[in-house]
């Protein structure tokens, strides 16, 4: 009787262990899949970042900024008469 | 009956049964032994060999490309960036089975269909050929989507240079495999380059990836490299130098700007240049970073250092007078001439007028090693230590016995060779009040310690003398900057041609610093063989100095120091003539 119940217990344990192996390998496969998707996403974002960086430096190119400042905003470097002198007591840097 | 049975049994003797059983058992044991041997016991020829052969047929190691580090300017603006691209490659052995789809493939790849078919059939025994490299990832995805057998994609990185020609000489470029070929890309290749990772994958008979076996070794991205260049100043210098070369019809030119407080190079440009993003029409001559690779005789630009040697000797003071009459001087078989007879000049006026006679008199009155010694201390003829590929060290020959003509030549900058960067570093000594600060191109780089090489009061008084060069009557009036005091020196050097110095080929130089009251920026401009008649340093090179350094003053937020000039202009209410 005791022998029999020990056997049943062991069988149940084996079944539980087998099921958990199935479960964990399923989880691992799912996570692996997710990891691969995230890697793909990271690659895509890397791509975007590179493109945006280049786009940004094109828009902010100095010749473009200078042209816009000159032509649209009518900006010029100040001439001597336009400078205001301010007296500072502290020693200048 | 029992008897019969017994007889039958006796007909098959027990030993026969035993022999058979033993024989079969032996075979079984042999089989088990063999299996055991292959699977477990014999590692070399059994288990490992078989496992290895099996893996070799199914497990492949895929390489994961690594991101090459960025090159950025001092404010973090990108100068060289790696962006992901895709290369399409084919296994011709597989692809020849599907020749019917080649036109479709050619259309997707934007290639000539006939040329593509020819390429594939001629390489049909190979297992790898690039069809098209560095496509946009989106276009490559479209090619893959067509699922043509034997066509595969490989991820790579391609280098882009957002600033293009503006920093091309300094940054250099990489080849198609992302390995540095020129400039800092080459010098710091190991630092910038990433380490490609790898992962193991299981592949089926047709080479499709069934699954990834492990996450493998991730790719290690390369390190970023931060330059001391300020892209705003670099762009400005590039624009002005290019315009000046166009104006003067010159052959080439360079500009170097350094921060005299730190020795950091703020701008370094050369012309002619090239576009590193499209190198199909690149000429070899346009590739050189002339400011560092090309040597020239510095001519009059070293005269301030000869005067420094005179002050150091103690034989002369800032108030000493030199008699330059009658305006020429014979040394051996050579005659040195000034444009006119200047009469008696102060040291300041010798520099202001750039008098050959005055400076030669000065050098002949000194100990013969003195001038060489000063030049040597300020770093001429010595490597700057930047590690830039192809950088010249310059030439500063020493003689056991100096002839008078050699001493005179040396004093006004002939018989030695320097690079524009060395000259800028030397002027940095004057700007910093006598301290040699080794030039620096890379923020992270360790440079040699700074070193006092000249008495502070001597450096300051030379700087003061050099201010007169820019004032009316000096040779460098066109280097004037509104609202700032400038100190500098012009130079016009006869170039060496075949059989001696050429009469009609000049190098036009200007080296200077601003603001003169507290120098912050040192700029050296060289214009090589200006045409159009205006070959003097004061005419070809000084205006470039004025524009670039003037803008640099404003961009670096340096307070104007020519207060008297500003007040005079404001009271006069007249527009100052722009230099």
Asked if A46 and B84 come within 8 Å (Cβ–Cβ), the reply is yes
| CA dihedral sign of residues B373, B379, B385, B389 | negative
pLDDT of residue A14: 96
Which of helix, strand or coil describes residue B395?
strand
Angle (CA) B293 B237 B476, round 5° = 90
Q: Rounded mean pLDDT of B99-123?
A: 84
Distance (Å, rounded) from C-alpha B311 to C-alpha B121?
A: 80
More confident residue, B251 or B534: B251
Contacts of A18 (CB under 8 A, 6+ apart): none
Q: Rounded mean pLDDT of B356-360?
A: 90
Asked if A81 and B236 come within 8 Å (Cβ–Cβ), the reply is no
The A residues from 14 to 33 touching B (CB cutoff 8 Å) are: 32
Q: Which residue's entry shows tokens 């890309």?
A: B185
Distance (Å, rounded) from C-alpha B396 to C-alpha B77?
A: 38
Q: What is the pTM of this model?
A: 0.81
Which parts of chain A fold into alpha helices (H)? 2-59, 62-71
Which parts of B270-369 fold into alpha helices (H)? 290-293, 303-313, 347-353, 356-364
Helices B303-313 & B456-470 angle (0-180, nearest 10) = 140
pLDDT of residue B8: 55
Distance (Å, rounded) from C-alpha B209 to C-alpha B202?
A: 6
Q: Rounded mean pLDDT of B336-351?
A: 88
Question: How long, in residues, is chain A?
Answer: 93
End-to-end alpha carbon distance in chain B: 142
Is ipTM strictly over 0.85?
A: no
Question: Of B82, B160, B232, which has the smallest distance from its Cβ to A62's Cβ?
Answer: B232
Q: How deeply is B306 buried, as exposed, middle or buried, from its count of CB atoms within 10 A (0-12, 13-18, 19+)?
A: buried
Among A62, A63, A69, most B C-beta atoms within 10 A, so best to mutate, is: A62
What is the percent of chain B where pLDDT is above 70? 96
Say which DSSP state B480 is in.
Answer: -
pLDDT in tens, B144-192: 888 888 888 888 888 889 888 899 999 999 988 888 888 999 999 999 9
pLDDT of residue B435: 92
Q: How far is A18 from chain B (nearest CA, A)?
A: 23
Q: Which residue of chain B has the CA closest to A81? A: B570
Sheet of B252-259: strands edge to edge? B265-271, B252-259, B521-528, B500-514, B487-497
Distance (Å, rounded) from C-alpha B265 to C-alpha A49?
A: 29
Identify all chain B residues contacting A83, using CB atoms and an 8 Å cutoff.
483, 560, 566, 570
pLDDT of residue B225: 92
Distance (Å, rounded) from C-alpha B184 to C-alpha B79?
A: 11
Q: Rounded mean pLDDT of B253-260?
A: 94
A63 token code pair = 């010749």
Q: Is the predicted pLDDT of residue B576 greater than 50, yes or no?
A: no
Q: B300 an active-site residue?
A: yes
CA B524 vs CA B387, B437, B548: distances in Å: 20, 16, 11
| CA dihedral sign of residues B516, B521, B527, B530 | negative
Phi (first) and psi of residue A25, to 5 degrees: -70, -30
pLDDT of residue A93: 46
CA B243 vs CA B94, B137, B249: distances in Å: 56, 39, 10
Q: Is the predicted pLDDT of residue B4 greater than 70, yes or no?
A: no
Asked if B554 and A47 come within 8 Å (Cβ–Cβ), the reply is no
Kind of pairing between the strands at B71-72 and B225-226: parallel
Q: Which one, of B63, B76, B268, B80, lies nearest residue B181 by Cα?
A: B80
To the nearest whole number, what is the mean pLDDT of chain B?
86
pLDDT in tens, B460-518: 999 999 999 998 888 888 999 988 999 999 998 888 777 777 777 888 999 999 899 99
Q: Which residue of chain A has the CA closest to B86? A: A47
pLDDT in tens, B527-570: 988 876 677 777 889 999 999 999 899 889 898 888 888 778 77
Identify all chain B residues contacting A62, using CB atoms and an 8 Å cutoff.
231-232, 235-236
């Amino acid at each position: 009787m005791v022998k029999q119940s020990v056997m049943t217990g062991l069988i149940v344990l084996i079944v539980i262990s087998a099921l958990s192996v199935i479960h964990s390998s399923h989880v691992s496969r799912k996570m692996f899949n997710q990891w691969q998707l995230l890697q793909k996403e990271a690659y895509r974002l890397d791509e975007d970042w590179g493109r945006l960086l280049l786009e940004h430096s094109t828009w902010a190119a100095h010749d473009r900024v200078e042209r816009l400042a000159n032509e649209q905003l009518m900006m010029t470097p100040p001439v001597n008469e336009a400078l205001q002198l301010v007296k500072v007591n502290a020693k200048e840097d | 009956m029992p008897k019969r049975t017994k007889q039958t049994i006796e007909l098959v003797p027990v030993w026969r049964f035993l022999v058979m059983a033993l024989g079969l058992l032996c075979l079984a044991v042999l089989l088990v032994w063999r299996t055991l041997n292959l699977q477990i016991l014999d590692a070399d020829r059994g288990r490992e060999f078989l496992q290895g052969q099996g893996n070799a047929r199914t497990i492949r190691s895929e390489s994961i490309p690594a991101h090459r580090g960025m090159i950025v300017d001092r404010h973090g603006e990108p100068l060289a960036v790696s962006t992901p691209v895709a290369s399409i490659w084919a296994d011709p052995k597989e692809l020849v089975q599907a020749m019917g789809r080649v036109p479709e493939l050619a259309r997707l790849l934007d290639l000539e269909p006939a040329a593509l078919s020819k390429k594939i059939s001629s390489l049909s025994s190979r297992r790898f050929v690039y069809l098209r490299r560095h496509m946009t990832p989106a276009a490559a995805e479209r090619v893959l989507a067509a699922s043509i057998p034997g066509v595969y994609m490989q991820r790579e990185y391609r280098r882009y240079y957002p600033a293009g020609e503006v920093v091309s000489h300094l940054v250099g470029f990489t080849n198609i495999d992302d390995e540095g070929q020129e400039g800092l890309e080459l010098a710091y290749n190991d630092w910038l380059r990433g380490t490609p990772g790898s992962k193991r994958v299981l592949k089926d008979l047709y080479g499709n990836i069934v699954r990834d076996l492990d996450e493998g070794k991730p790719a290690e991205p390369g390190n970023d490299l931060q330059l001391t260049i300020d892209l705003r100043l670099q762009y400005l210098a590039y624009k002005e130098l290019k315009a000046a070369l166009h104006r003067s019809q010159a052959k080439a030119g360079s500009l170097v700007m350094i921060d005299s407080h730190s020795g950091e190079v703020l701008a370094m440009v050369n012309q002619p240049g090239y576009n590193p993003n499209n190198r199909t029409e690149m000429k070899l001559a346009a590739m050189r970073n002339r400011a560092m690779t090309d040597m020239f005789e510095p001519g009059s630009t070293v005269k301030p250092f000869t005067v420094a040697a005179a002050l150091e000797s103690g034989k002369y003071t800032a108030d000493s007078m030199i008699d330059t009459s009658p305006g020429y001087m014979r040394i051996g078989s050579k005659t040195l001439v000034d444009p006119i007879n200047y009469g008696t000049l102060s040291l300041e006026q010798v520099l202001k007028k750039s008098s050959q006679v005055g400076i030669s008199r000065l050098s002949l009155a000194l100990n013969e090693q003195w001038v060489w010694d000063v030049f040597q201390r300020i770093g001429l003829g010595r490597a700057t230590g930047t590690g830039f590929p192809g950088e010249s060290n310059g030439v500063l020959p020493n003689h056991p016995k100096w002839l008078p003509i050699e001493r005179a030549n040396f004093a006004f900058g002939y018989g030695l060779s320097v690079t524009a960067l060395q000259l800028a570093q030397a002027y940095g000594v004057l700007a910093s009040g006598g301290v040699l600060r080794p030039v620096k191109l890379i923020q992270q780089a360790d440079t040699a310690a700074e070193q006092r090489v000249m008495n502070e009061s001597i450096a300051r008084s030379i700087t003061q003398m050099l201010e007169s060069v820019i004032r009316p009557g000096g040779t460098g009036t066109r280097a004037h900057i509104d609202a700032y005091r400038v100190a500098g020196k012009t130079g016009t050097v006869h170039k060496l041609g075949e059989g001696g110095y050429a009469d009609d080929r000049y190098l036009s130089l200007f080296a200077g610093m601003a603001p003169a009251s507290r120098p912050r920026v040192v700029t050296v401009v060289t214009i090589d063989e200006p045409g159009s008649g205006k070959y003097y340093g004061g005419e070809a090179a000084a205006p470039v100095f004025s524009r670039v350094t003037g803008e640099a003053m404003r961009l670096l937020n340096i307070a104007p120091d020519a207060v008297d000039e500003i007040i005079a202009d404001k009271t006069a209410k007249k527009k100052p003539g722009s230099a």
